[in-house]
Amino acid sequence: MIILLSFCEEDYAVSAYLTEFINSLTNLAYVYYALRYMYGPGSRGLFAPKVDFMAVSLLLLGIGSFLFHASMRQTMQFADELAMLGLTWSLLLGALNIQRTSAYNKLVSVGLAVIFPLFSAFYIWTANILYHSIAFGTILTLIVLRGHYLFHWRVPAFPADKCHTPRTQETPPCGPYTVVFAVMVCNVLNVKSTCMNPKYPDLIS
């Protein structure tokens, strides 16, 4: 099934082979940085890369999103959106497991390992992007709150030399909240565009 909704780019405007040319190519950046990490320091060669959940999630996101925007097929849309959830859940897992006991880390890991495939199956069954948007926004909010707790609310706090490096000082304090707000706006526009698209007459109220 071909998706009839365009994501901020006219279909086949640049290439007859890639539906959304720019959206497709920019996803290769995810693939590049995933491979750069996997074959960077700690790698033991071509067939023994440094692999972890976050790197694999980033690689799958780059591939899945490239294939979706290149083809605009619903199967690839599921690959793209589930990879998005996989990456954010890997970030959430890392944030929740910082300075926790091994028993707590195992409980969180098992919990997310159960929730992710169950939600994935539910989302594919319903094919309702609203559920994906809610899940993605919720995870981003939890990551932001957890990060804010670790750096600002935690007792005892991180040592001053760990919290006030030049990189931290250069980062705008509103940066994480801007990301969450941008994702919310993007999701609202996507839903609105779908409902107002003349190709979906049954969705127009």
The 3 state secondary structure assigned to 88-118 is HHHHHHHHHCCCCCHHHHHHHHHHHHHHHHH
Q: What is the mean pLDDT of residues 69-90?
A: 90
Distance from C-alpha of 82 to C-alpha of 93, rounded to nearest angstrom: 16
Closest C-alpha to 80, from 66, 69, 65: 65
User: Looking at residue 12, what is its pLDDT?
Assistant: 82
Report the range of poorest mean pLDDT among 27-31, 59-63, 134-138, 156-160.
Answer: 156-160
Beta-bridged to residue 164, according to DSSP, are none
User: Looking at residue 47, what is its pLDDT?
Assistant: 84
Q: What is the mean pLDDT of residues 67-93?
A: 90
Per-position b or e across 78-111, b if 16+ CB within 10 A of its CB: bbbbbbbbbbbbbbbbebbeeeeeeeeeeeeeee
Q: What is the mean pLDDT of residues 125-143?
A: 91
Distance from C-alpha of 94 to C-alpha of 7, rounded to nearest angstrom: 30
User: Looking at residue 10, what is its pLDDT?
Assistant: 79
Reported as a pLDDT band with limits 50, 70 and 90, residue 180 is: low
Whether the per-residue pLDDT at 167 is higher than 70: the answer is no
Reported as a pLDDT band with limits 50, 70 and 90, residue 82 is: very high
Domain ranges of the chain: 21-203
Would you give the distance in Å from CA 76 to the centre of its chain?
Answer: 15
User: Looking at residue 162, what is its pLDDT?
Assistant: 63
Whether the per-residue pLDDT at 146 is higher than 70: the answer is yes
Whether the per-residue pLDDT at 60 is higher than 80: the answer is yes
More confident residue, 140 or 194: 140
Whether the per-residue pLDDT at 51 is higher than 70: the answer is yes
Whether the per-residue pLDDT at 96 is higher than 90: the answer is no
More confident residue, 137 or 7: 137
Q: Do residues 62 and 28 lie in contact, with contact meaning Cβ atoms separated by under 8 Å?
A: yes
Whether the per-residue pLDDT at 70 is higher than 60: the answer is yes
